[in-house]
Amino acid sequence: MSIELSLEVEFPVDLERVQNLAEHAMDFMRLHPATDLFIRFVDLATMEDLHVKHMDEPGPTDVLSFPMDELEPGTETETAPEGILGDIVVCPEFAEPQAEQAG
């Protein structure tokens, strides 16, 4: 499994925890061991640009996902085929107040 993380902000992000969580989720979905995932942490301005460009929605948001190969989870007897899961873009500065509000 290939999980690439990109921290493009000064905001504190526990990349080891994110890596472990992504690995756990991919294992739970029984994805092929060669499946790729990219997680990018960006600032408010970058997220706003992406939100407008790809969703035609104003302002930033907490998370955007860009699936690639439309992978389905594997089964108890067979893993999913090899592929690219896609990209996840996270704006920690936008997400933090939401997390605090949700407890």
What mean pLDDT comes out for the span 46-73?
Answer: 96
Phi, psi at 11, each rounded to 5°? -60, 135
Residue 3 has a pLDDT of 97
**Model's pTM, two decimal places?**
0.91
Query: Which residues have CB under 8 Å from 95's CB, separation 6+?
Result: 62, 63
> pLDDT category, 1, cuts 50, 70, 90?
confident
Nearest to 43 by CA among 68, 73, 74, 8: 8
**pLDDT (average), residues 32-50:** 97
> Could you say which DSSP state residue 33 is in?
T
- Token look-up 């979905």 returns 29
Q: What percent of the chain has pLDDT over 90?
A: 95
Residue 89 confidence (pLDDT): 98
